[in-house]
């Protein structure tokens, strides 16, 4: 063997050469992550890294303590648990969604303004909107390396100089070009702060390594959350040219658009980029440990508003430029105009984003699910009265010493102050006290009447852990202050202590607070009220999309509380929509959707049992069977791994079938789908597998037809088309896609010949008629592939 040459056996790619048919698009509410962008995921772990965990929404009623959660996380988890391998997730929210901000402790931005430097605070923000970062706290520490004369300096280095005999004087300098540390560096040093009474450095005063301690300085950042490991980002640069500058890091939407990794450090810069002109970041007053933790700073609105979910309705799930009148070819023309041909092309939003835009979603996805459309909606209620949390000093106990003689004049030793005590106004509060999330409450610091102002300061801490390992000081002030505070939803603990005459008392007993989003309740109304239920308009829009593209299938769901009349009215509305999409083939248009019922009881990531629509769990099974048996395969009697029990009103299978739904039933080996029918009343198109087979054939026609678009339009082209599609259809026949036992009884291929071919050539067209007998119907169904000019037209007949 020649030197430098290696022979490697390259294993051919697996699969059957058919288009991918097991990839769905999930559209719904996520805790974090990009908005209105289809993100490809290959595991439940990947979903958690990009979109977070459970999404707590509202209380489930005026008197209920149970809370609604988003169905999207459970749907994706059920999909992967059932055998799914890849999906796309589109997070939806309104434009009101906002991200919390953080002040970087001890860090100041120095910008040159003429001959002066201006110092401002440095702010970071969560890299995506929502309340997921409310319980985070940010800290920073300095990382330094001593330098000596002749040491190399890199562009982007920040240098700190201190006098060993005068550590109060600190000078800073940024390195703009590669150099070495000189014996004397008298210029371009910034001294932002001087000790009281200290004269400024003379302009020509040298800063030399021989008499100054000169260090290269970087910053480490840390984020902590109660009950979670601390995240760190080490070696952050502080001047232009440094390798890692997270201060202007793009948010997750910008990173997605740029094709960058969506994971990693979860904070982004507030500004879009570094300021113009000269700048550097100065870590003033920071040490080598993560000492001070800065809590998140929401914008003051309540949680549901900041998540962009306060106005629940169909507008959350559809593109804002879409109108209900867009159907069929008009809908696809509108989508192309928005995505490609408009003056400002953009990706579609909401469920219309399932069409993709020259990306993997456009090439792969053939299922669409919107699990969160079945929520009942919610309304804002009157807020509970604002509770005052009182922190009151405790007077010293009365002296019990025996009387002293006149000669015993020694003063008693100083006594540390007693621990303060917590109380609430109104006083009828049972612990843990319930506060409203994101609503301001008053922390009132008061001195007991017997204390006579002896206590000078009261310090209050809050923590997310009962051992106060993540404590953050809320306030340290005189016991006559009122402080307005907000807490994110969750469990918190407060404690306080007193300071007096240089002595610090013990901590008080911890007080537990249960902070909840109490200002919202689910709505109660009739299913016909569009302000209450989004299921009908969203399902209608989804069916219109799938019937227009003819390459997507919708797994629909209905609200759990709907009875038979509401479900029947819903199915009738969907069939009417299908008739409007295609007046000549209404039954065919209705075959692009199916509804399964009832809901399933599943165990969520937080180990709680909740009811969810069945689409996610069923989708995992359908994806697995699509890979193993073909796109035309029905779920059969395979049990759903994620389903623990049926939930809600469990009606008989006959009743659900009569309503046009696919019932789920409890069998000996688990919960399974006992029917796989579409919404079409036509027997030819009623089987879900038939519609999925035709979606596969359309994708095959699109893929193979592109190879012949620029070929000479002659009889050789027609023979090549027949040979290519005959090989593909024969392969499908061998896998059981067709009813026949041989090619003649399974499919028919026909191109124009003779005078018909001459007329087609004269018009610049080439057509291929494909007739197949799917394993479910009892007669042939037709697919017509036609080339007109340089475009492919695929029609069903």
On whether both 207 and 329 belong to a single domain, the answer is no
- CB neighbour list of residue 524: distance below 8 Å, 6 or more residues apart: 61, 376, 532
Q: Are residues 644 and 577 in the same domain?
A: yes
Question: What is the C-alpha separation between 28 and 23, in angstroms, rounded?
Answer: 16
Cβ contact 386:441 at 8 Å: yes
- Distance (Å, rounded) from C-alpha 24 to C-alpha 39? 11
Helix (H) or strand (E) holding 690: helix 688-705
Check if the beta carbon of residue 363 is closer than 8 Å to that of residue 354. Answer: no
Asked whether residue 310 falls in the same domain as residue 338, the answer is yes
Token reading at 99: 């991200």
Let me know whether 182 and 119 are in one domain: yes
Question: 660 and 574 share a domain?
Answer: yes
Q: Is the peptide bond before 432 cis (omega within 30 degrees of 0)?
A: yes
Mean residue pLDDT of the chain comes to 85
**Cβ neighbours around 1 below 10 Å, total:** 6
State the residue range of the domain holding 553: 30-95+305-378+524-673
Q: Which of 467, 493, 518 is the last residue of a domain?
A: 518
Distant-in-sequence, close-in-space partners of 630: CB < 8 Å, separation ≥ 6: 693, 696, 732, 735, 736, 737
Min mean pLDDT across 33-37, 255-259, 390-394 is at 390-394
C-beta separation of 688 from 594 below 8 A: yes
The pLDDT value recorded for residue 778 is 46
Query: Is the confidence at residue 440, as pLDDT, over 50?
Result: yes
The enclosing domain of 511 has a CATH number of: 2.60.40.10
Distance CA 692, CA 687 (A): 9
Q: Are residues 177 and 199 in the same domain?
A: yes
Work out whether the CA dihedral 583, 584, 590, 592 comes out positive or negative. Answer: negative
Based on the fold, state whether residues 603 and 741 are members of the same structural domain. no
pLDDT (tens digit per residue) in 653-687: 788 888 889 999 888 888 988 888 999 988 889 89
On whether residue 690 sits in a domain, the answer given is: no
Q: What pLDDT is stored for residue 617 in this prediction?
A: 94
- Indicate if the pLDDT at residue 3 is higher than 60: no
- Residue 786, phi then psi, degrees to nearest 5: -135, 135
| Same domain, yes or no: 185 and 288 | yes
In this structure, is residue 316 part of a structural domain?
A: yes
Quickly tell me which residue has 């008499």 as its tokens: 211
Among 298, 314, 332, the domain boundary falls at 298
What's the start-to-end Cα distance of the chain, in Å?
60
The whole-number pLDDT of residue 767 equals: 83
Q: Return the residue matching tokens 């193979």.
A: 704
Phi, psi of 391 (to 5 degrees): -115, 110
**Long-range CB pairs of 271-274, under 8 A, 24+ apart, other chains included:** 271/247, 272/248, 273/248, 274/240, 274/245, 274/247, 274/248
Same structural domain, 425 and 372: no
| Residue 64 backbone dihedrals phi, psi, to 5 degrees | -75, 145
Which residue has better confidence, 474 or 545? 545
Mean pLDDT over 110-115 rounds to 81
Q: What is the model's pTM? A: 0.88
In a domain, 16, yes or no: no
Q: Is the pLDDT of residue 746 over 50?
A: yes
The dihedral sign for the CA sequence 39, 40, 43, 49: negative
> pLDDT tens digits for 116-157?
788 889 999 999 999 999 999 999 999 999 999 889 999 999
Residue 354 inside a domain? The answer is: yes
**Residue 647: phi, psi to the nearest 5?**
-130, 150
d(CA 746, CA 740): 4
CA atoms within 13 A on the CB side of 693: 29
Task: Among 21-25, 165-169, 687-691, name the most confident range.
Answer: 21-25
347 — pLDDT class (breaks 50, 70, 90): very high
Report d(CA 448, CA 417) in Å as an integer.
12
471-509 pLDDT, tens digit per residue, is: 888 888 888 888 887 788 788 899 999 998 888 999 999
Q: Say if residue 779's pLDDT is above 70.
A: no
Phi first, then psi, for residue 31 (nearest 5°) are: -70, -35
Query: Do 134 and 280 share a domain, yes or no?
Result: yes
What are the pLDDT digits (tens) for 178-225? 888 887 765 678 877 766 666 666 666 678 888 889 999 999 999 999
Residue 32: name the closest of 51, 55, 57, 54 by CA: 51
- Distance CA(253)–CA(251), nearest Å, equals 6
Please check whether residue 187 lies inside any domain of the structure: yes
C-alpha span between 548 and 624 (Å, rounded): 26
Percent of the chain with pLDDT over 70: 87
Judged against a pLDDT cut of 70, whether residue 530 lies above it is answered with no
Within a 13 Å sphere around the CA of 415, how many CA atoms are in the beta-carbon half?
A: 12
Close Cβ partners of 426 (under 8 Å, ≥ 6 residues apart): 385, 387
Distance CA 127, CA 253 (A): 8
Measured CA to CA, the distance from residue 572 to residue 582 in angstroms comes to: 16
Asked, for residue 3, whether it belongs to a domain, the answer is: no
Peptide bond into 449 cis (omega under 30): no
Predicted local confidence at residue 531, as pLDDT: 47
> Do residues 663 and 711 both lie within one domain?
no
Q: State whether 200 and 290 are in the same domain.
A: yes
Q: 373 versus 527: which is more confidently predicted?
A: 373
Average pLDDT over every residue of 161-166 = 82
Bigger pLDDT: 321 vs 404: 321
Chain centroid offset of residue 121 CA: 29
State how far Cα 229 lies from the chain centre.
Answer: 20
- Residue 454 to residues 436, 447, 482, Cα–Cα distance (Å): 34, 9, 19
* Cβ atoms of residues 558 and 565 within 8 Å: no
Q: Specify which of 60-69, 99-108, 400-409, 661-670 reaches the highest per-range mean pLDDT.
A: 99-108
- Residue with token string 């390992």: 469
In terms of DSSP bridges, do strands 388-392 and 166-174 run parallel, antiparallel, or are they unpaired?
unpaired
Which residue bears the tokens 């692009």?
592
pLDDT (0 to 100) of residue 480: 82
Do β-strands 472-477 and 457-463 pair in parallel, antiparallel, or remain unpaired? Answer: antiparallel
Work out the pLDDT band at 525, boundaries 50, 70, 90.
low
Give Cβ neighbours of residue 752 (< 8 Å, ≥ 6 apart): 718, 759, 760, 766, 767
Q: Which residues contact 26 (CB under 8 A, 6 or more apart)?
A: 72, 75, 76, 79, 87, 88, 89, 90, 369, 370, 371, 616
What span, in angstroms and rounded, lies between the C-alpha atoms of 246 and 235? Answer: 10
pLDDT of residue 696: 92
Nearest Cα neighbor of 749 from 788, 776, 784 is 784
- pLDDT tens digits, residue range 395-413? 877 766 666 555 555 666 7
Question: Does some domain include residue 785?
Answer: yes
> Cα separation of 76 and 774, whole Å?
31
pLDDT of residue 403: 61
pLDDT score, position 14: 45
Confidence of residue 10 (pLDDT cuts 50, 70, 90): very low
Last residue of a domain, one of 469, 485, 518: 518
Determine, yes or no, domain membership for 122. Answer: yes
What's the confidence (pLDDT) of residue 485?
79
Pairing of strands 87-91, 24-28: parallel
The total number of structural domains in the chain stands at: 4
Q: What are the structure tokens assigned to 140, written together?
A: 């920073």
């Amino acid at each position: 063997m020649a030197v430098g040459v290696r022979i490697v056996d390259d294993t051919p790619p697996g699969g059957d050469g058919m288009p991918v048919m097991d990839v769905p698009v999930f559209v719904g509410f996520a805790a974090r992550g990009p908005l209105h962008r289809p993100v490809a995921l290959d595991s439940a772990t990947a979903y958690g890294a990009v979109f977070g965990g459970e999404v707590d929404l509202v209380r489930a009623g005026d008197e209920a303590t149970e809370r609604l959660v988003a169905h999207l996380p459970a749907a994706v988890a059920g999909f992967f648990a059932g055998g799914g391998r890849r999906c796309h997730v589109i997070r939806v929210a309104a434009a009101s969604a906002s991200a919390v901000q953080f002040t970087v402790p001890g860090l100041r931005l120095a910008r040159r303004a003429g001959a002066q430097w201006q110092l401002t605070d440095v702010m970071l923000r969560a890299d995506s909107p929502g309340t997921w970062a409310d319980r985070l706290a940010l800290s920073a520490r300095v990382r330094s390396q001593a330098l000596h004369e002749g040491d190399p300096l890199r562009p982007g280095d920040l240098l700190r100089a201190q006098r060993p005999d005068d550590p109060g004087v600190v000078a800073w300098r940024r390195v703009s070009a590669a150099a070495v540390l000189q014996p004397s560096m008298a210029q371009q040093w910034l001294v932002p702060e001087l000790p009281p009474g200290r004269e400024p450095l003379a302009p020509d005063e040298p800063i030399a390594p021989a008499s100054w301690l000169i260090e290269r300085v970087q910053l480490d950042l840390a984020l902590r959350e109660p009950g979670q490991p601390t995240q760190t980002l080490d070696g952050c640069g502080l001047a232009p040219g440094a390798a890692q500058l997270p201060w202007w890091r793009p948010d997750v939407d910008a990173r997605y658009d740029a094709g960058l990794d969506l994971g990693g450090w979860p904070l982004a810069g507030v500004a879009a980029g570094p300021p113009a002109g000269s700048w550097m970041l100065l870590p003033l007053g920071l040490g080598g440990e993560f000492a001070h933790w800065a809590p998140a700073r929401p914008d003051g609105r309540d949680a549901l508003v900041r998540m962009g979910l306060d106005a629940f309705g169909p507008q959350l799930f559809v593109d804002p430029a879409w109108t209900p009148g867009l159907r069929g070819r008009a809908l696809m023309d509108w989508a192309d105009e928005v995505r490609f041909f408009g003056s400002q092309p953009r990706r579609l939003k909401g469920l219309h984003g399932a069409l993709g835009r020259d990306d993997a979603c456009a090439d792969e996805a053939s299922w669409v699910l919107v699990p969160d459309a079945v929520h009942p909606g919610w309304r804002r209620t009157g807020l509970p009265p604002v509770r005052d949390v009182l922190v009151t000093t405790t007077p010293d106990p009365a002296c019990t010493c025996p009387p002293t003689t006149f000669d015993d004049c020694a003063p008693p030793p100083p006594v540390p102050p007693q621990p303060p005590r917590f109380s609430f106004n109104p006083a009828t509060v049972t612990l843990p006290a319930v506060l409203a999330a994101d609503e301001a409450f008053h922390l009132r610091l008061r001195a007991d009447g017997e204390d006579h102002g002896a206590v000078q300061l009261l310090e209050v801490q809050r923590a997310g852990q009962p051992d106060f390992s993540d404590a953050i000081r809320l306030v340290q002030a005189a016991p006559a202050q009122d402080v307005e505070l907000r807490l994110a939803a969750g469990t918190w603990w407060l404690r306080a202590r007193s300071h007096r005459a240089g002595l610090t008392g013990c901590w008080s007993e911890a007080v537990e607070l249960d902070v909840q989003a109490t200002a919202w309740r689910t709505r109660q109304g009739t299913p016909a009220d569009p302000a209450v239920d989004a299921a009908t308009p969203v399902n209608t829009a989804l069916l219109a999309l799938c019937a227009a593209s003819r390459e997507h299938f919708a797994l629909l769901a209905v609200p759990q509380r709907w009875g038979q009349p509401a479900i029947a009215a819903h199915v009738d509305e969907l069939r009417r929509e299908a008739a409007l999409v295609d007046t000549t083939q209404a039954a065919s248009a209705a075959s692009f959707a199916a509804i399964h019922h009832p809901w399933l009881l599943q165990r969520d990531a937080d180990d709680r049992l909740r009811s969810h629509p069945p689409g996610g769990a069923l989708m995992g099974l359908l994806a697995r069977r699509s890979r193993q048996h073909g796109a035309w395969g029905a779920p059969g009697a395979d049990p759903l791994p994620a389903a623990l029990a049926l939930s809600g009103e469990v009606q008989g299978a006959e009743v659900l079938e009569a309503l046009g739904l696919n019932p789920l039933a409890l069998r000996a080996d688990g919960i399974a789908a006992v029917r796989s029918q579409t919404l079409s009343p036509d027997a030819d198109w009623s089987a879900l597998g038939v519609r999925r087979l035709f979606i596969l054939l359309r994708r095959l026609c699109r893929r193979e037809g592109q190879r012949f678009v620029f070929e000479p339009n002659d009889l050789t082209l027609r023979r090549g088309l027949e040979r290519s599609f005959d090989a593909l259809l024969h392969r499908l026949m061998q896998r059981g896609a067709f009813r026949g036992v041989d090619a003649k009884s399974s499919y028919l291929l026909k191109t124009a010949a003779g005078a018909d071919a001459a007329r087609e050539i004269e018009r610049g067209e080439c057509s291929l008629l494909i007739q197949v007998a799917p394993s479910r119907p009892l007669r042939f169904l037709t697919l017509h592939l036609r080339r007109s000019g340089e475009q492919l037209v695929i029609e069903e007949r």
